[in-house]
């Protein structure tokens, strides 16, 4: 049976909830491996003066209901220091070969510790070591100093690695604990736009908005989505 979410245009009567559509598009792009890192999304944040900056991160969880998107990163990085001072962020997925774009605006909160622990534990030791070894966004004198810093921090944690960091010297199997400065960020959308490429640039677009009422420092009570078709 054809996937009902993969139509060339959005239905005439817009769906009630864009998150299931967005989730289906992401799953499709991932299943089809349309490119390397099909879960890559551009994340835009603003600093305390309102100056925007953007970078690519990987979407590691897409939770359609109640509706949030998770990526993992260093909590001392520029992006997290910006979203701590202003939680309003923007995400953009784009799959050129599928002619689809998803834009998300919303509010960022840090993930619960259990979510960060579970994901960190699932990572390869090399990525775990990298999370300990790099003070993301901070300056460093040289690449050599960086590699030495990663090796030294690994040794302090009981992981011996080869000089090129490619293999464990000893012990042969070792999982590291999650660094306190590393974990997930949940983006709760209050606006989602689905965009489908059309012929002669007559694309199909619709935007859905909802209210978010803060429950506590990690979650929101979300209102119902309202969808509007917009011109290309």
Ligand X SMILES: Cc1cc2nc3c(=O)[nH]c(=O)nc-3n(C[C@H](O)[C@H](O)[C@H](O)COP(=O)(O)O)c2cc1C
Give contact residues for ligand X (rule: CB under 6 A): 37, 40, 55-58, 71-74, 77-79, 136-137
Give the number of other Cβ atoms within 10 Å of residue 124's Cβ.
9
Hey, is 55 helix, strand or coil? strand
Q: Show the DSSP H helices in the chain as ranges.
A: 18-31, 78-85, 113-121, 125-133, 143-156
Least distance from C-beta 74 to ligand X, angstroms? Answer: 6
**Cβ closer to ligand X: 44 or 64?**
44
Burial of 41 (0-12, 13-18, 19+ CB in 10 A): buried
Least distance from C-beta 44 to ligand X, angstroms? Answer: 10
**Cβ closer to ligand X: 10 or 41?**
41
**Cβ closer to ligand X: 14 or 150?**
150
Q: Show the DSSP H helices in 86-205 as ranges.
A: 113-121, 125-133, 143-156
Least distance from C-beta 207 to ligand X, angstroms? Answer: 26
**Cβ closer to ligand X: 31 or 58?**
58
Least distance from C-beta 78 to ligand X, angstroms? Answer: 4
């Amino acid at each position: 049976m054809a996937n009902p979410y993969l139509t060339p245009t959005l239905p005439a009567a817009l769906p009630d909830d864009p998150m299931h559509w967005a989730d289906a598009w992401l799953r499709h792009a991932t299943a089809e491996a349309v490119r390397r890192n099909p879960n890559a999304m551009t994340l835009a944040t603003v600093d305390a003066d309102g100056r925007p900056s953007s970078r690519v991160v990987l979407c590691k969880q897409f939770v359609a209901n109640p509706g949030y998107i998770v990526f993992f990163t260093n909590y001392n990085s520029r992006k997290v220091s910006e979203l701590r001072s202003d939680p309003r962020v923007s995400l953009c997925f784009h799959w050129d070969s599928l002619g689809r774009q998803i834009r998300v605006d919303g509010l960022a909160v840090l993930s619960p510790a259990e979510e960060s622990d579970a994901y960190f534990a699932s990572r390869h030791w090399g990525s775990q070591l990298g999370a300990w070894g790099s003070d993301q966004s901070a300056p460093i004198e040289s690449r050599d100093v960086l590699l030495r810093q990663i090796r030294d921090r690994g040794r302090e944690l009981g992981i011996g690695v080869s000089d090129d960091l490619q293999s464990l010297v000893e012990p042969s199997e070792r999982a590291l604990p999650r660094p306190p400065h590393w974990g997930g960020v949940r983006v709760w959308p209050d606006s989602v736009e689905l965009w489908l490429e059309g012929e002669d640039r007559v694309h199909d677009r619709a935007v859905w908005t909802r209210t978010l009422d803060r429950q506590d420092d990690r979650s929101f009570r979300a209102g119902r989505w309202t969808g509007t078709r917009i011109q290309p």
